[in-house]
Chains A and B, each alone.
Chain A
Amino acid sequence: MDRLTRERYVERAVWPIGRGDRNFWLSVAVLSAAVLAGLYAWIYQLRNGLGVTGLNQKVSWGFYIINCVFFIGISYGGAMTSAILRLTNAKWRAPLTRIAEATAVAALVVGAVYPIIDLGRPDRFLTIPLYAQVGSPIVWDLVAISTYILASFVFLYLPLIPDFPVALAALGDRSKFLGPLYRLLSLGWRGTLGQEKALRRGVGIMAVLIIPLAVSVHSVLALLFAVTARGGWHSTIFAPLFVLAAMLSGVAAVILVVGALRKVYGLQEFITAKHFRYLSYLLVALGVGYLYFMVSEYVTEGYLLESTTTPVLEAIFTGAYAPAFWAFSVGGLVFPLILAVAPGRFPIGRACLASVLVVAGMWLKRFLIVVPGMAEPIMPWDWGRYSPTWVEITITIGSAAAIPLILIVFFRFFPVMSVHEMDEVEGVEERARPLLVPGFAGGGDD
C-alpha cells in the first residue's frame, strides 16, 4: 500500500466521523423510533406482567429466549472474523475487523438484555449473584455472557487505541470536540516500540481468549435446553450445534453489515469482491458443518424414535412446524450456501442475499428449537399453542433496530476501518507513520 492509497484509506476510515447528513439523521430517526416503540412495549410489559405476552402455562418460553440465543449468536461474527482471522494471520481481514468487532458488541448488548426481559420478576435480577445456585444453567449463562461482554468490549477497544492519533490528525478541524475524548481513550499512545509490543501482545491474548469464551457462551445456552427431558432438547450434540449455529449466523451478519456500510460509507476501494468471496467461503464452511451436525442429530433421534422426541420430529418434518422447518433448511441453509459460492457475476450481491437468508433462517431455527420443544405434549394433553402478541413483536423489532442504530452512532465517533491493523499487515517498515499530532505529547520516534 503506497502512501497515497494509505491516505485515501485513512480518509475513508474517518469519513463518517462527525458527519451528519440527511441520510444519517433520517436513519437515526427511523431506527430510534423503532427502538423507542420496543422500549414502550417493554415498559408496558413491566407494568402489566408477562400476561401481556403470548406465553402460557405450556409454552412458557418464546420470543425472548429465541431472541436471546439469536442475537448473542449474531455477535459471534466478531469472534470469528476478527479473532480467528487474526490468529491465522489472514491479511485480508484488516479493513473488516473493526466492523466485525463493533457488530459483535452491538448484538451482544442487545442479546444480553433478553434474559432480563424474559423474567417474571426483573426487579430480582440482581439477586441471582446473591443466591446463585451453581448447579443451574441460568447461572452458567450469566457468568459466561457477562465475561464474554467484557471481553468483547476490550477486544473492540484495544485495536482502537493506536487509531485515535491517526484519526485526530486526519480529521483536522472536524476533530475539535473529539480531541479530549480521543486523548482520554488513547491512554497516551505514542506508537513507541514498547507500546506497539504491548498492544500486539494484548490483542493477541484477547484474540485467543475470545474464542473459548464465545464457545462457552453458546455451549451453556444450549445446556439451558439440553439438561431438560423435553423432546428435541435433550441432545448431546446441542452444545456444539449451538456454537456452530452462532458462528454461522455471526459470519452472515458480518457480511451483511460490511455490505451495507461499504455502500453507505463509500469503502468500495478497500472492501472488494475478494473480501466477500473469502467471507462467503467462511460462511459455506460453517454452513456445511452446521448441516452435518443437524443431520447427524436428526438421524440419531429419528432412528430410535423415543416417545419424547417422536412428536417433536413429526411436528417439525411433516406437521404444524414443517413450513418453518423446510423454509429454514432449504431457503435458509442449503440454497444460500450454494448461492454464496457459485461462480458467476454479482459476488457481492449474492453474498449479501445469502447472508440475509442465513440470518433469517437461523432465527427460524431457534424458533424451531424453542417452541415445539415447549409445546410438545409431555402429559396426555393437546399441543400447546403460542402466538406472540404485539408486545413481543414490538420488542423484537425494536431490539433488531438497536443494532444498526448502535453501529451508525458508534461509527460517527470512531474510525470504521482499522488503520493500525492495515499498517501492521502491510508491514511495519514501509508504513507511513503518523505525523506529530498537536495535543499528543511526544510523537514517538518520528
Chain B
Amino acid sequence: MSRPADTHTDAKLLRVEHLKTHFFTRKGVVKAVDDVGFTLDRGQIMGLVGESGAGKSITGFSILRLIDEPGRIVSGRILFEGENLLEKSEKEMYRIRGNRIAMVFQDPQTSLDPVFTIGYQIVEGIAAHRPMARGEARRRAVGLLQQVGIPSPDERLSDYPHQFSGGMRQRVGISIAMSAAPALIIADEPSTALDVTVQAQVLTLMRKLVREQDAAMILITHDIALVGQFCDAIAVMYAGRMVEKGPKEALIRTPLHPYTIGLIDSIPGRQAPRKRLRQIRGMMPNLLNLPPGCPFKPRCDRADDGCHRQPDLVEVAPGRAVACWKVEAS
C-alpha cells in the first residue's frame, strides 16, 4: 500500500499505518479493519464514513486500544505524537486515554452514569488525570459546562443525567471529553441520537472547540452529507477497508471510487423529485464471507475480471487516494 503523505517525516499528530484489527470468532476470522492507514494533522477534522459494519468504529476503538476478546489488533502501527501506541503498556495507555485522546460516544444517555450527578462525573474525570483540590476541580467543571453552552452551570452540576435533555447530555459528554484538553478526539456518531436542529448546534460547538484548542478530531458517522459540513478531510470505509480518502471538497464534488459515487448519488434531494433514485444494488457482504478480490465487486457496475485481485489504496492526485483498479487504470 502506498501512502503518499509518508514521504516527508513531518510532525503529524496521528499516523495510522497498515492497521489490521481482526475478530477471531467461532465461525471464523472477521477482518473488521483490514489494512487501514491515514494521517491527521493538528487542527484537522477527519470524517470517517461508512455503513454499519464497515469497520469505522473499530478503527476508532483500535486507536484507543479498546478492543476486547475475541478481537485483536493483529498488525500495523498507530503513531500518536510520534510514539507507537501499540507498543505502550496498559498502564501507559491508561494515562493516554481520556487525557491525550478522548472519546465522545453516540448515546449520551448510556455513556453517563445515571446514579451520579453530572458534577461528580465531570470532577471525577478531571481528578483522574490531574490531581487537584475538589474546589478547584469543581470550578473547572463549571468553566467546562459554560464552554459547551449549558445555562446556569453552577446549579446544573448537582443535577442527574436524566434531568438533562438529549442535546444537553451530549454537551456534558463533550465537556468531559474536553476536560483534559486532549490532542485528539474520537467522536463516534456523536449526533446520531440527536434531532437535526440540535445536531447542528452540537457539531458547530465541537468544531469550534477543536479549532480553539488546536486539537484534531475523527468524526465517525454514516452520514456523508454531515461530514461534508463539518470536516476537512474524508475517508470512506467499506467492508473493513478504506476505499477512498481525500480533502472534503474534492471527494464530494468528484468522487472517484464507485462506492463513494453510489453513496453520494443515492442521497435524495439532489435528484429529480418523485423519480426513482439511483441506488447501489445489493448490500454489504458478510465480513465472514467476503468475496475474493475487491470487496465491492459484487455491487459494482464497472467491475470486470480485473477486479478479482484486491486493489490497494493508491494516490491518484495530491492528497487523494482510491482503492479501485478502474480508477487507477484511467
Real binding pair: no
